Chain A
Amino acid sequence: MKNLRLKSARAAKDLSQDQLAKLCNVSRQTISAIEKGEYNPTVKLCIAICKALDKTLDELFWEE
């Protein structure tokens, strides 16, 4: 399942996948895979993404 909330939060911060990847210390492909729903990140990476985007875990990763 695609993570559109992550994609829109990244776009709202005006960050490219590459820039977000650098902030989280991962590869661009990992961010791309998370957005496409192809990779299920660990809590550690989820927290790093949330911190980089100033969002909470619920806002970005909690399924509704």
Chain B
Amino acid sequence: MISQIIAIIIFYGALTAIAIMIVKGKKSKEKYDEMQQKYIGNAYKYAYSTAMALIFGCIIIDANVGFNLPQYSLSSLLVWVCAISFSVFIIYSIWHDAYFLPNQNCRNYLGLTIGLSVLYTVLFIKGLMKDYGNDLDMSTLYEIILFRNSTNAALALCPALASVFIIIKMIKEKKEEAENDN
């Protein structure tokens, strides 16, 4: 009975937190101009569609093995779903200059994205090297290395892609500025 009450409190607590986040999110969006808001909306839409398609893919994979996928594999797949959907969101936003405050340069985010991608790449390599030292048969190799280490790979991929697109955007912007000066 007590656990059910706690579960209900947690559920409604989570709902309230989401409602607060949405209201605060609307206020913070006011910082962006109308074109940026339009593209941020599109980015959310594409990221949501990607997440739905990937979750459907995960269900198919799980069904393929008789709904018996190990829990860590499933969590790892979900991390990939989040990383890929978030990548779609940031790539679309960066490409359309939608996630920088008006007159702010995308360069400001480059240090952060490079730092995060380096950190997770190091963790990924460290994990691979640690597992490589152990004697693993093929099934453990598949389950442990592929799934456990791929989580760090997924987390490295997201900021790495953001860094690449910020650099491309910076080059494009420089060209555009030169064209405007002429």
Please name the residue on chain B nearest to A44 by beta carbon.
Answer: B34
Assuming the contacts A18-B103, A22-B103, asked whether A29 and B97 have C-beta atoms less than 8 A apart, the reply is: yes
Residues in B with CB closer than 8 Å to A29 are 35-36, 97
Does B100 sit at the interface, judged by CB under 8 A?
yes
The CA-CA distance from A44 to B34 in the complex, in Å, is 10
Answer whether residue A53 sits at the interface, using C-beta atoms and an 8 A cutoff: no
Q: Is B102 an interface residue (CB 8 A)?
A: yes
Q: Are B180 and A27 in contact (CB under 8 A)?
A: no
In the complex, the answer to whether A26 meets B33 with C-beta atoms within 8 Å is yes
**B108 CB, min distance to chain A CBs, angstroms:** 14
When the two chains form their complex, are residues B176 and A27 in contact, meaning their CB atoms are under 8 A apart? no
B176 touches A32 (CB 8 A): yes
- A8 at the A/B interface (Cβ < 8 Å)? no
Q: In the complex, A62 Cα to B102 Cα: how many Å?
A: 27
A45 CB → nearest B CB, Å: 6
Q: Does A33 contact B (CB under 8 A)?
A: yes
Is the Cβ of B180 less than 8 Å from the Cβ of A26? no
How extensive is the interface on chain B, given as a class? 10 to 19
Q: How far is the CB of A26 from chain B (nearest CB, A)?
A: 4
CB pair B103 A21 closer than 8 Å: yes
- Complex CA distance for A39 and B97, rounded to whole angstroms: 13
What CA separation (Å) do A28 and B101 show in the bound complex?
10
Please measure, in the bound complex, the distance between the C-alpha atom of A45 and the C-alpha atom of B32, giving whole angstroms.
13
Residues of A within 8 A of B103 (CB): 18, 21-22, 27-28
Is A3 engaged at the interface, CB distance under 8 Å to the other chain? no
Most buried by B among A18, A25, A27, A28: A27
Contact residues in A for B102 (Cβ distance below 8 Å): 21, 25-28, 30
A interface, CB within 8 angstroms of B: 16-18, 21-22, 25-30, 32-33, 39, 41-42, 44-45
Report 15 cross-chain contacts, Cβ distance below 8 Å, ordered by A residue: A16-B180, A17-B180, A21-B102, A25-B33, A26-B34, A26-B35, A27-B35, A27-B97, A27-B101, A27-B103, A29-B35, A29-B36, A39-B35, A41-B34, A45-B33
Given contacts A29-B36, A45-B33, 17 further A-B contacts (CB under 8 A): A16-B180, A17-B180, A21-B102, A26-B33, A26-B102, A27-B35, A27-B100, A28-B102, A28-B103, A29-B35, A30-B33, A30-B34, A30-B35, A30-B36, A32-B176, A42-B34, A44-B34
